[in-house]
Structure 1
Amino acid sequence: MVANEQIPKSIWAKKLDEVFGLDLRSLAAFRIGIALVLLADLGIRFGDVVAHYTDAGVMPRSLLAQISKPWHWSLHAISGEPIFQVLLFTIAAVMAIAMLVGYHTRIATIASWVLLISLHNRNPSLIFAADDVLRALMFWAMFLPLGASYSIESALNSANHKLPARVVSGATVALIFQQCFIYIFSAAFKTRSPVWTEGTAVYYSLSFDQYATPIGHFLLNFPALLTLFTYVTLVLEWVAPLLLFVPVRNSFFRMCAVITFVMLHAGFGLTLNLGIFPFLSIFSWLAFLPSSFWHALHKRLQTPARQGLKIYFDADCGFCKKVVHLLRTLLILPGTPLLMAQEYPDIYADMQAYNSWVVEDWQGKRHFKFAGIVYIVSLSPVFFFLVPLLNWKPVMAAGTKFYEAVATNRKIAGRFTKPFKFRPIQVRPSRLLNILALLLLLYTFVWNVSSYAPDAFKRKVWQSTEFVGRATRLDQSWSIFAPGPPRDDGWYVIPGRLQNGSEVDIFRSGNPVSWDKPSLGLRGTIYNNMQWRTYFINLNRAIGQRLYPFYGQYLCRTWNAKHPGEQSLKSFDVYFMDERTVPPGEKQTVEKKQTWQQSCS
């Protein structure tokens, strides 16, 4: 009787693992993708570090204090000096790199999350959809074993037991539901607008020139196709995330969901200028790749050359042992045997004769020194494209000399790998963290429902807990192009009067003033990046009246710092050429609006 009662439990446990479990390799791919996005985002933002994050820019701390929401804290707001911002950017980049390679992964992920929130809160006028998605993903990433595969930690794993292929925890459940919240609540907001239910939403999206790409603009010539895209997008956001929960043939349906959303976001990226958003969204779906995907990929990559590869290292050299373990993981050759040369007399003789490790290929040929590295790289499924460069004679000669220098100075070289230590990895979900993750998931769900239906919960009760969402930035509202796409399209013209009496357009790098609509390609150079694009969109909205005085002062300072004397700026006006998007078939009109006047005296 007892045995019969245990059978359903094992079946249920298996189903729970299928639906809510995530493969460690998928989590590693997710980690690498998110870390690359963090680094790219930091690099883009760093180009405007003074303009966007110091007191000399468009958002001094005096203005931030006026517009910041309660509990939106920021380490970046401690100082308004550029050197302080450069320091925080540098720390954030180091933490993102550590996350990328999987070194002290959990600490690096937590630090990256903290600095990400701090950066976003420092200038809320730059925030757009990708920032909200990135914060949400980074929050749940802190609870996940991101460093258990394809990482420095996994390369130096000294545990005797084999790690499980998959992990099920409160955090895996939370990440799956979080991904669903992004799309389903976005779809819920969209259904409130007739432009989505009537099929014109994609038309309005691609007509918004501040986002549209040339490809997106070209598609406006096919109205029937735009209607189809509108309905397909809405249906996919409602239904496709639910494929993650199908209990039968879950791997197949997961793969369908991943492919669907990768293609959807690739389409977004081709038709709309959305910054990191398409890449971030695509990378986020890597976490849900099923184990069957990795099994099939592994089988496909098992060529005779990879199966026959053997690497022999000096057992008396701790530095050498670490390097071969790191190389095997970095080059993604997980099945390669790493052997101690001393246990094979003929191999050991070659090692001593060449003062080198020994790399043996599948045909028994031996490679030494830098040539051994080149051969291993040629088998890497990711970095094989580097082989022509590595085989180039100058690179080969320099690489060989470098290898020989390291080989004869192992003790000195060992100092560089001293921080990397062999440690056991344990993938055991903590009961406390599971409970905490599930409670925060429930909180996040309530917040999303509250953002969609503000009267769904008693206001006083909900207000007493809002500080949690504000402080952790789980304050979510997935109204992406919802209820409807923006229609307040147009472009800026900023005629400036110089001390010598001439007039130039400050917004277009001092070119002659032109009121003509700039081409889509020119707009890309004007806005420079997604942060400036978002900022100028906000200038045309309610918050713009608070932003304008400081933007005006910033323009005066930056122009006059580069143009002294008679070329300095005396005053300027800001005009917005309002080209509000009209329904399909109607004639577009443009209204010239003066939105700001500024004196630089």
Structure 2
Amino acid sequence: MDHKIMSRSPSVATVRSRFSAAVRRLSAAVAARTSVDLRALAAFRIGLGALLIADLLRRSRSLTAFYTDAGVLPRRALFADYSEVYSLHALSGEPWAVASLFAVAGVVALALFVGYRTRLATVVSWLLLLSLQARNPMVLNAGDALFAMLLFWGVFLPLGARWSVDAIRRSDAKNSGDGATPDAGDGAEDETAPETGPSAGDRGSAVATVASMGVLLQMLVMYVTNGVHKLEGDLWMSGEAVAYVMQADHFTYLLGNHITAFPALLRAFTVVWIALLFASPLLVVLTGFPRAAVASLFVGMHVGMAATMRIDLFPVIAVVGFVPFYQTPVWDAAERGVNRLAPSAALARWRARLESAGGRIASLDASAPRSTPNGRLDGLRDRLHAGVERGSPLFSTVLPALFVVLIVLSSAQSVGYGEVPDPGEEVLETVEMDQHWQMFAPEPARTTRWFAAPGVLENGSERDVLHDAEVSLDRPPDVDATYPTARWRKYLSNVRSGNNENHRSYLANYLCAEWNRTHATGVENVTVYQLYERTDPYNGTVQAANEFELIEYDCSGEFVQNE
């Protein structure tokens, strides 16, 4: 009997050993595929900060029109159509109040850009971006959704570990001799992290966490979901989709106005894009240089979009979203290349200047007036720090893991392969993280659309009050140029929708008020038309054309909601 027991014991030990080895191999494989280099996170942070500033500057061109009570979506209309609006930007309808929030957001975005109190700057930037987007949902596109999600994942990542003021502050604190790091309560938390992946770079050069997995999966989910939606479209599967998109002149500009002459090239682009969408899982299956190669193909396609289509910041946001896919071997090779190509003295001077600038910011922060010691306040701060430490696993692991599950479920639900539980749906809606991704799917845009707003002036003449031009309902030579911005195109596209008929009155009322504010001869009556033309991209023949009167509006009295 004892002999039988002893004969089985090595077998159990062997099984346990093999199981442990398998778990270690699996953990190493997952770590290798979720590992993000700290230099990639630094570049990602800089890209997010620059995008926030660019987005604010671009939106500010239509600040009054889109974000105040004097614009096309006054707060009464916003609250009527969107019952639950959580937006600081909706607290006041005055231009000065909204402009002040724009300025605050710009300052915080600059702090994120330079990596000053990075985590705090990321959280505040994300909240302000959600607030701004909630103020006018009628001008939003897929790029806005992706931007908010990338910022969300940035909250959980050590974005300030490299190339940042925070990193210089930590270095100065360590060099001071006491080994102290800046107080976590001031937003300059210690964001350094041990290397967890099998990367070949410097020790501590990469992190592999649930949050790093989340930011990679966020990009993957977008492409996989969009690819499944495109499967339902005949034009995508036949290879003709890009040709039809390029003849929709209200999207195209720059190279897009000329590339229509090469239908074979457009067909090739369609095939390549579909192939990339369905090859997107390679972005997390591969590692190192092979992953970078696949990511670079996507980046190249988005650069092509930016050169041919006016779709606001979406292509640039997507490019920034790919930065974390470039792992440690790529950054090491890039550094070696820079060191070989650039004179070492020039690099040393630039590094010294950057460190000096960061040091000045850090010294200004250190010299700022501090509150006098107070026993009760110190005790409260100690308890707060203890609470933060106890909640750290929840913040850094449990919460990101929850959202990883939710975005995967939401993506599956959007294509009919799963369902998000009701509580999860509420969470996703609250933080604007529903995964739909139906960009140009299932069918692409095939129709060129433009708008005209003939107005009868007080002297009896007519003028297009939308474009401040002579009245013409003919197709313009360059339809894209008739839209002040891509957000105006998105807004007008939503206004023409049958679900938004009530918003046509707000648009007409705004056109009347804006014209009368900026012109000596007022407008008495305005009629808004939406016109379209569908053209065969291969022979140029017009397949369909028409015009619709959206609203006729009397400018002489108080606002009237036309039914």
TM-score by length of 1: 0.76
Between the aligned partners of 1:465 and 1:258, the Cα distance in structure 2 is 31
1:145 aligns with 2:164: no
Q: Deviations over 1:545-577 (max 9, x none)?
A: 12110011111111101223xx10010111222
Between the aligned partners of 2:208 and 2:369, the Cα distance in structure 1 is 28
Between the aligned partners of 2:17 and 2:127, the Cα distance in structure 1 is 49
Q: Structure 1 residues 583 and 30 mapped into 2: Cα distance closer, same or farther (>3 Å)?
A: same
Match of 1:234 in 2: 274
Q: Deviations over 1:367-412 (max 9, x none)?
A: xxxxxxxxxxxxxxxxxxxxxxxxxxxxxxxxxxxxxxxxxxx9x9
The correspondence for 1:14, drawn from 28, 51, 59, is: 28
The correspondence for 1:26, drawn from 17, 40, 43, is: 40
Q: Deviations over 1:424-472 (max 9, x none)?
A: xxx999532212111111111111222222x843xxx833442211111
Match of 1:442 in 2: 405
Match of 2:104 in 1: 91
Shift of 1:226: 1.8
Between the aligned partners of 2:231 and 2:467, the Cα distance in structure 1 is 39
SS at match of 2:543: coil
Shift of 1:225: 2.0
Q: Structure 1 residues 253 and 200 mapped into 2: Cα distance closer, same or farther (>3 Å)?
A: same
Give structure 2 stretches of 5+ with no counterpart. 1-12, 180-191, 195-203, 371-388, 557-563
SS at match of 1:559: helix
The correspondence for 1:481, drawn from 413, 434, 440, is: 440
Q: Which amino acid aligns with 2:51?
A: V
2:211–2:401 CA contact under 8 A, matched in 1: yes
SS at match of 1:507: coil
Shift of 1:504: 1.1
1:112 aligns with 2:125: yes
Work out the number of aligned pairs and report it.
Answer: 494
Shift of 1:218: 2.1
Give structure 1 stretches of 5+ with no counterpart. 312-322, 332-337, 339-409, 422-426
Match of 2:187 in 1: none
Match of 2:295 in 1: 258
Match of 2:378 in 1: none
Match of 1:578 in 2: 532
Shift of 1:500: 0.6
1:28–1:150 CA contact under 8 A, matched in 2: yes
Match of 2:148 in 1: 135
Q: Deviations over 1:503-557 (max 9, x none)?
A: 1111221x2212332222x633x32222112112212222441211001111111
Q: Which amino acid aligns with 2:338?
A: L
1:418 aligns with 2:455: no
Between the aligned partners of 1:146 and 1:294, the Cα distance in structure 2 is 16
Between the aligned partners of 1:557 and 1:37, the Cα distance in structure 2 is 32
Q: Structure 1 residues 126 and 592 mapped into 2: Cα distance closer, same or farther (>3 Å)?
A: same
Shift of 1:220: 1.9
Shift of 1:72: 4.5
Q: Structure 1 residues 413 and 223 mapped into 2: Cα distance closer, same or farther (>3 Å)?
A: closer
Match of 2:552 in 1: 597
Aligned-residue sequence identity (percent) comes to: 32
Match of 1:43 in 2: 57
Q: Which amino acid aligns with 1:519?
A: P
Match of 1:213 in 2: 253
Q: Which amino acid aligns with 2:555?
A: C
Q: Structure 1 residues 499 and 480 mapped into 2: Cα distance closer, same or farther (>3 Å)?
A: same
SS at match of 1:489: strand
Q: Structure 1 residues 310 and 270 mapped into 2: Cα distance closer, same or farther (>3 Å)?
A: closer
Shift of 1:583: 7.0
Between the aligned partners of 1:242 and 1:257, the Cα distance in structure 2 is 7
Q: Structure 1 residues 126 and 309 mapped into 2: Cα distance closer, same or farther (>3 Å)?
A: closer
Shift of 1:89: 0.8
> What RMSD over aligned residues (CA atoms) do the two structures have, in Å?
3.1
2:69–2:93 CA contact under 8 A, matched in 1: yes
SS at match of 1:504: strand
1:152–1:326 CA contact under 8 A, matched in 2: no
2:528–2:552 CA contact under 8 A, matched in 1: yes
Shift of 1:476: 2.3
Shift of 1:127: 0.5
SS at match of 1:577: strand
Between the aligned partners of 2:94 and 2:280, the Cα distance in structure 1 is 47
Between the aligned partners of 2:465 and 2:193, the Cα distance in structure 1 is 63
Match of 1:290 in 2: 327
* More displaced 10-residue stretch of structure 1: 23-32 or 436-445: 436-445
SS at match of 1:576: strand
- What aligned pairs does 1:241-252 form with structure 2 within 5 A after superposition? 241-246=281-286, 250-252=287-289
Match of 2:511 in 1: 555
Shift of 1:253: 1.7
Match of 2:87 in 1: 74
Match of 1:385 in 2: none
TM-score by length of 2: 0.81
Between the aligned partners of 1:211 and 1:420, the Cα distance in structure 2 is 53
Match of 1:327 in 2: 354
Between the aligned partners of 1:181 and 1:288, the Cα distance in structure 2 is 14
